[in-house]
Structure 1
Amino acid sequence: MKTVDGRKWATREDLIEHSGYSRDTLRKLWRDRKANGHPADRMIDGVMHWDLEEWTAWFAEHCQRPRDLSGVDRSGDPDEQLPPAGQARVLGVDTSRISQYAKNPPPGWPDPIREEELPTRTREYRTRRQLWAFADDPAGGFGTVGGRPSGPDPKVRAAKATKPDPRIRQAAEALAAQPGRKAGEVAAALAREHGQSVDTWKRIITQARKQAQ
Structure 2
Amino acid sequence: MATLNGRPVLTRKELADAYEVSITHLEKLYRQRELNGHPEAAGTISRALVWDAADWHQWYESHTDTIGLESRTDLQDRTGLGLSTLALLWKERETNHHPEPEKIIGNTMYWNPATWDTWYQSYKANQQWRTTVDHSGNANDLISLAEAARVLGMEPTNITKYPVRPPKYWPAPAEETTTPKGFIKRKYRRGDIWTYAEHRERGGGRPAGPKTDRRYPYDGDPRLDQARTVLKANPETPATHLAGQLAQEHGGTAGTWSHIIRSAQQHPEN
Give your verdict on TM over 0.5: no
Instruction: Give the greater-gyration-radius structure (CA).
Output: 2
TM-score by length of 1: 0.35
